[in-house]
Amino acid sequence: MRMRYKPGLLLIELLGGLTMFILCTVIITHYIIVVKNSQQQTLKRMEKISFLRNEYEKALVKNYMNNG
């Protein structure tokens, strides 16, 4: 019986696979960070609007109390 020669995994393939894996991880990480940043920006805006609204409402009560 003749033995078949099987080259197996080449180093270049291993490195190629590894690079693909790293690339995928980096893309996913980047996406997660982008989502986090946009959410934080939205939250900051919401907090700012909420703060301003509260201050306005407090000023209304203060003004009413001062004017009797």
Partner 1 sequence: MDKKNGFSLILFLLYLFLFSSITVCICTMFTSLVLPTITNTRQCRSLMALHIASDLFFNDIQQAKKSSIVWQKTTDNEIIWSNKDVSIGWKIDKNTLKRKEGIYSLEKWKKATTCVIADRMEYGKFRIEKHNGIIMALSCSLAITQDKIVECYVALVPISSS
Q: Does 42 bind partner 1 (CB under 8 A)?
A: yes
Considering only 20, 23, 32, 52, the residue that binds partner 1 (CB under 8 A) is 32
B/e letters for 4-43, b = 16+ CB within 10 Å, e = fewer, are eeeeeeeeeeeeeeeeeeeeeeeeeeeeeeeeeeeeeeee
**Contact residues: partner 1, CB under 8 A:** 3, 5, 11, 14, 18, 21-22, 25, 28-29, 32-33, 35-36, 39-40, 42-43, 46-47, 50, 53-54, 57-58, 60-61, 63-65, 67
